[in-house]
Amino acid sequence: MSTFDRVLAPQQDAVIATNKLIRNTYMLLSMTLLFSVVTAGAGMAMGISPAISMIATLGAIGLLWLVLPRTENSAAGLAVVFGITGLLGLGLGPLLTHYLAIPGGGKLVATALGGTGVIFLGLSGYALTTRRDFNFMGGFLFVGLVVALIAMIANLFMEIPALSLAISGVIVLLMSGMILYDTSRIVNGGETNYLRATVSLYLDFYNLFIHLLHLLTAFAGGDD
Amino acid sequence: MDMWMKIALAVVLGIMVIRLWPAAMHMMKHGPEGSNEDWRAALLPIAAVVGFIILLILMVRGN
């Protein structure tokens, strides 16, 4: 092997590893999104109650915090990722049933889903093609997320519709930033595990969809 | 939403805040700082998202 090859070989290995990570992440992301659609449909068909929906969401959070970190480097981690996304999909059942019951609700849900897809593909594609490092946004995004969570806790009890709309608007912007941040971490070596990368991007998509749906319903004059 | 569900949700969101806060503060203090050009490159697509959402809102209001 020449000196030239020895210098280039590690760089080529890194590029191959990154490309493999990107391919695995987006393949798993598309499968988990489809799986969530199936479980959300099942949740709607079974007419699960908001209480069951909440338990499913709490179960997903439990898997995310307690089980995924211990299994992310094994084959079991794949099942955990499907468990998280399946439970989150199931938890969406009553929410979607509520929105679909609103006049024109089907169109609102379809618009929110299509809009989320366009935003996700646009931002993720932008970060992938420019290969820019958006790591500098991390602190700003996480502090913003903490502030939004505190506002959500307050509004659970205050129930101010304008604050609820403002929170959704802020979360849509934060999730858009998170898509850039998470994709850039995959491209630039900040994230090397495809299971973690998939769950991060899935959560960006999931939160973006829910809050975009809330915004669209409110502005369309729905009962939300 | 029932009060017990609100309290349970508030507890979970509170735990999220407690888990995220140290990481957020660490990133703010020790994370890389972006140049003006970096921020422009990030804010441009976000502005496009805002424009797209306004378009979606106009679409759903038009029906």
**DSSP string across A162-192:** HHHHHHHHHHHHHHHHHHHHHHHHHHTTS--
Question: What pLDDT is recorded for position A83?
Answer: 97
Answer yes or no: do A219 and B63 touch at CB < 8 A.
no
State both tokens at A79.
């099942």
CA A158 to chain centroid: 27
Q: Does B47 touch chain A (CB under 8 A)?
A: no
Partner-chain residue, chosen from A153, A176, A219, that has the shortest CB–CB distance to B61: A219
Q: Does B13 touch chain A (CB under 8 A)?
A: yes
- Tokens 């038009």 — which residue? B62
Cβ neighbours, 10 Å, residue A74: 11
Asked if residue A223 has pLDDT above 60, the reply is: no
Which among A110, A96, A87 is positioned nearest to A45, based on CA atoms? A96
- Tokens 């009060």 — which residue? B3
Q: What is the pLDDT of residues A91-112, one digit of tens each?
A: 999 999 999 999 889 999 999 9
ipTM of this complex: 0.92
- As for how many domains chain A has, the answer is 1
Q: What is the pLDDT of residues A29-88, one digit of tens each?
A: 999 999 999 999 999 999 999 999 999 999 999 999 999 999 999 999 999 999 999 999
Partner-chain residue, chosen from A65, A118, A137, that has the shortest CB–CB distance to B52: A118
Instruction: Report the chain B residue with the minimal C-alpha distance to residue A133.
Output: B38
Answer yes or no: do A173 and B50 touch at CB < 8 A.
yes
d(CA A191, CA A214): 31
DSSP character at residue A65: I
If phi over 0 gives left and psi between -120 and 50 gives alpha, with beta otherwise, what is residue A159? left
Chain A interface mutation, best of B6, B55, B56, B63, highest count of A Cβ atoms under 10 Å: B56
Partner-chain residue, chosen from B8, B17, B46, that has the shortest CB–CB distance to A146: B17
State both tokens at B16.
């999220």
State whether residue A141 is helix, strand or coil: helix
**How many contacts does A have with B, using Cβ atoms within 8 A?**
115
**Whether A170 contacts A215, CB under 8 Å:** no
**Whether A112 contacts A96, CB under 8 Å:** no
Beta-strand runs (E) in A53-195: none
* d(CA B62, nearest CA chain A) in Å: 8
Question: What mean pLDDT value characterizes chain A?
Answer: 93
Q: Specify the amino acid at residue A200.
A: S
Q: Does B54 touch chain A (CB under 8 A)?
A: no
State both tokens at A222.
């729905």
Q: Does B37 touch chain A (CB under 8 A)?
A: no
d(CA A120, CA A33): 13
Question: What pLDDT is recorded for position A106?
Answer: 94
State whether residue A118 is helix, strand or coil: helix
Q: Does B43 touch chain A (CB under 8 A)?
A: no
State whether residue A131 is helix, strand or coil: coil
A224 located within any domain = no
What domain range is A165 assigned to? 3-219
- Tokens 């820019």 — which residue? A132
Half-sphere exposure of A173 (CA within 13 A, CB side): 18
For residue A17, what pLDDT band results from cuts at 50, 70 and 90?
confident
Q: What is the pLDDT of residues B17-58, one digit of tens each?
A: 999 999 999 998 888 888 999 999 999 999 999 999 999 999
- Domain ranges for chain B: 1-31, 36-63
A136 located within any domain = yes
Half-sphere exposure of A7 (CA within 13 A, CB side): 3
- Tokens 């913003």 — which residue? A144
State whether residue A10 is helix, strand or coil: helix
